[in-house]
């Protein structure tokens, strides 16, 4: 036999059907295909009857009906007219999702119908048609392989509710209308890619639909109660991947096109607000306005939005320690004239504002500039200055013309300590800094002089690179957090390390300021006076002895001191003689 010089493409139809069986990834996709067919048929609604226990689902519609039942079982041959097939990009495979999804299929439409086991259909056995009185189109799936759960899923919806979310026509389940909050409505605006409804903000996620199918999600936050953005794509421009249409063809390129269109819609939205004089919304959404490249819309609004304002980083530590609020409120033009404002360009490129952990390890790793940077931060904090992030604003913004906002590079302030004690080293688990307790610290800088007994400052030291000056009423909780992150090599926060070092820091300051070691014991033992131990210890005395053994290890001995019994007075001699 002579080998042929030609080959011809062929298909193993049973093999194709076996491959198709797993093409529709879940039962919800089957439901969407049947809903889609109803919509394409021009039905005003889709009615679904479902019995989860019996694994039976019936879909009714009042569309044009089925003229040729043979096209239902003809894979890849669409039964739709040429106009619908072209506009909808119909694959001719939707009905097969029902064949693959159940054990038995019952179909009726326009006075004809059939009932058949799907195994017989897939084995190419003839299916007998019968006549009936059914005018509507009915497709009933019996013995569904993957029933659709009625219980609510992770997002608070069952499979039917998810399918109906953005569907173009009303859908009922067992007589109850399903909510369609993402379906097209008058809230949508026509754009070059389709219909768009903007979400609650630029940051929220946007759901993308094509012919009622959700095919993509544009990244963003998802908060309960916030309205997400929605896009219904033009089906003549975008195509979904066959057969179950759960993502777009050339998805990355398509998403870029969609994202650009949504961004343009947001830009137009804020421009319209500007034209209508809605300055309050523009200031409220200033962060979004800036991220969209529309910072110029803020130029003549006499309010500085809080998103472009910062407090010195020291404020963050104090806010964490004292439970305060760190975000900066909006600042009117009038208040700006009365407040110390500093453009961020007037400050050096700071590597560690408000963070003293960089001082660990002594002078060899220490950068001298950090002394000035930290002291500058504390100085600005004490002067209640606000930093304007000028890189976030358009060059034409009014703040750049304001005489009340400093733009020149600020010199580092000079420090002087009042009633400073001798330096003391904190010997903690993570902290080994040298501390200089003092009554108060005075800063002299570009904004004038300020003194505070709550201040912290850095003082140069040949031995350790820098010492930390601590005012009499400084917040030691925030100081401790500046000195270390208290994390191990796996970046786990260690509560015990923090507790130990906070106690070591407080003890070192107490000894340096009072010279009274007994105060440490009083602080450590005070908690024993509370609760059930208080009455137990009341009036009792103990002897505490600290020492060391022969190996240099510390020892501690505690013994109760017994109260002495009162001595009896001896009887008078005269009384004895008598």
Report d(CA 268, CA 47) in Å as an integer.
39
Check if the beta carbon of residue 162 is closer than 8 Å to that of residue 153. Answer: yes
CATH 3.30.565.10 assigned to 13-177:
yes
Crossing angle (nearest 10°) for helices 94-101 and 27-40: 140
The two three-digit tokens of residue 575, written as one number = 């009384």
Which residues have CB under 8 Å from 82's CB, separation 6+? none
The two three-digit tokens of residue 237, written as one number = 């421009």
pLDDT score for 555: 86
Largest Cα–Cα distance in the chain?
156
pLDDT score for 364: 42
pLDDT score for 14: 67
Which segments of 384-453 are extended strands (E)?
386-388, 405-406, 414-418, 424-425, 434-437, 440-445, 448-452
Give the Å distances, CA to CA, from 386 to 330, 374, 410, 451: 11, 16, 14, 19
Phi/psi at 513 (5° precision)? -85, -35
For 330, the 3-state DSSP assignment is: coil
Report d(CA 262, CA 381) in Å as an integer.
41
CA nearest neighbour of 84 among 96, 70, 94, 98: 94
The residues pairing with 310 across neighbouring beta strands, listed in sequence order, are 387
Residue that has been written with the tokens 């400084």 in this structure: 474
Q: What is the pairing mode between strands 171-173 and 176-177? A: antiparallel
Residues 151, 156, 162, 166: is their CA dihedral positive or negative?
positive
Check if the beta carbon of residue 308 is closer than 8 Å to that of residue 295. Answer: no
For 332, the 3-state DSSP assignment is: strand
CA nearest neighbour of 214 among 3, 56, 36, 469: 36
CA nearest neighbour of 148 among 59, 20, 55: 55
The two three-digit tokens of residue 501, written as one number = 């070092």
Check if the beta carbon of residue 420 is closer than 8 Å to that of residue 498. Answer: no
Cis upstream peptide for 243 (omega within 30°): yes
pLDDT score for 274: 97
- Residue 189 parent element (H or E): strand 189-190
Q: What is the pLDDT along the chain (578 residues), one digit of tens a residue?
A: 556 677 777 666 666 666 666 665 567 778 888 998 899 889 999 999 999 999 999 999 999 998 888 878 776 555 445 455 445 554 446 788 888 889 999 999 999 999 999 999 888 899 999 999 998 999 999 999 888 888 876 566 788 998 999 999 999 999 999 999 999 999 999 999 999 999 999 989 999 999 888 899 998 776 665 789 999 999 889 988 776 677 898 999 999 999 999 999 999 999 999 999 999 999 999 999 999 999 999 999 999 999 999 888 777 666 554 444 467 899 999 999 988 999 988 886 554 444 566 555 444 445 677 788 889 889 998 998 999 999 999 999 999 998 888 888 888 999 999 999 999 988 888 888 889 999 999 999 999 999 999 999 999 887 667 889 999 999 888 888 888 889 999 999 999 999 989 988 998 898 888 877 777 777 677 777 777 888 888 888 888 888 877 777 888 888 888 776 666 666 665 655 44
- pTM summary value: 0.73
Q: Write the secondary structure of 82-139 as one string of H (helix), E (strand) and C (coil).
A: HHHHHHHCCCCCHHHHHHHHCCEEEEEECCEEEEEEHHHHHCCCCCCCEECCCCCEEE
The residues pairing with 56 across neighbouring beta strands, listed in sequence order, are 51, 142
Report d(CA 30, CA 121) in Å as an integer.
17
Q: List, by residue range, all CATH 3.30.565.10 domains of the chain.
A: 13-177
Q: What is the pairing mode between strands 46-51 and 171-173? A: parallel
């Amino acid at each position: 036999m002579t080998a042929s010089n030609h080959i011809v493409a062929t298909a193993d139809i049973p093999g194709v059907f076996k491959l198709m069986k797993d093409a529709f990834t879940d039962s919800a996709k089957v439901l969407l295909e049947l809903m889609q067919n109803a919509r394409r048929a021009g039905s005003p609604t889709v009615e679904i009857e479902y019995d989860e226990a019996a694994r039976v689902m019936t879909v009714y519609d009042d569309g044009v009906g089925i003229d040729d039942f043979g096209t239902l079982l003809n894979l890849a041959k669409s039964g739709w007219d040429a106009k619908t097939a072209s506009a909808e990009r119909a694959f001719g495979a939707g009905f097969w999702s029902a064949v693959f999804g159940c054990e038995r299929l019952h179909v009726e439409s326009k006075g004809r119908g059939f009932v058949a086991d799907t195994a017989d259909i897939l084995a190419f056995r003839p299916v007998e048609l019968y006549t009936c009185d059914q005018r509507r189109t009915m497709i009933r799936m019996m013995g569904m392989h993957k029933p659709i759960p009625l219980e609510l899923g992770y997002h608070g919806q069952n499979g039917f509710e998810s399918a109906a979310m953005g569907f173009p026509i009303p859908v009922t389940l067992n007589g109850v209308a399903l909510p369609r909050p993402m379906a097209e409505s008058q809230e949508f605006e026509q754009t070059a890619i389709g219909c768009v409804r903007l979400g609650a903000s630029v940051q929220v996620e946007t759901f993308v639909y094509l012919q009622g199918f959700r095919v993509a999600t544009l990244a963003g936050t998802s908060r309960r109660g916030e309205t997400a953005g929605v896009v219904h794509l033009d089906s003549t421009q975008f195509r979904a991947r066959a057969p179950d249409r759960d993502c777009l063809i050339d998805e990355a390129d398509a998403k870029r096109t969609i994202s650009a269109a949504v961004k343009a819609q947001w830009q137009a939205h804020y421009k319209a607000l500007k034209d209508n004089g809605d300055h309050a919304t523009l200031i409220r959404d200033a962060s979004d306005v800036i991220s969209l490249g529309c910072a110029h819309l803020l130029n003549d609004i006499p309010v500085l939005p809080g998103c472009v304002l910062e407090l010195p980083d020291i404020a963050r530590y104090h806010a964490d320690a004292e439970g305060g609020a760190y975000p900066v409120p909006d600042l009117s033009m009038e208040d700006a004239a009365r407040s110390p404002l500093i453009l961020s360009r007037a400050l050096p490129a700071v590597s560690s504002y408000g963070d003293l952990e960089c001082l660990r390890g002594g002078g060899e790793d220490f950068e001298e500039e950090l002394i000035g940077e930290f002291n500058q931060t504390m100085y600005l904090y004490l002067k209640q200055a606000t930093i304007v992030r000028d890189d976030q604003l358009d060059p034409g913004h009014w703040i750049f013309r304001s005489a009340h906002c400093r733009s020149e590079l600020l010199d580092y302030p000079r420090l002087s300590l009042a009633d400073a004690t001798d330096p003391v080293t904190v010997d903690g688990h993570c902290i080994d800094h040298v501390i200089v307790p003092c009554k108060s610290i005075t800063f002299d800088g570009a904004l004038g002089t300020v003194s505070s007994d709550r201040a912290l400052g850095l003082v140069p030291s040949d031995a350790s690179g820098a010492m930390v000056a601590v005012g009499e009423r400084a917040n030691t909780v925030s100081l401790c957090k500046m000195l270390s992150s208290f994390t191990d090599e796996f970046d786990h926060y260690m509560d015990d390390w923090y507790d130990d070092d906070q106690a070591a820091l407080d003890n070192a300051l107490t000894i340096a300021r009072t010279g009274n070691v007994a105060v440490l014991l009083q602080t450590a033992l005070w908690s024993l006076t509370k609760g059930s131990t208080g009455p137990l210890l009341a009036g009792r005395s103990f002897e505490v002895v600290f020492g060391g053994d022969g190996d240099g290890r510390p020892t501690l001995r505690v013994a109760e001191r017994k109260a002495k019994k009162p001595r009896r007075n001896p009887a008078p001699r005269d009384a004895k003689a008598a």
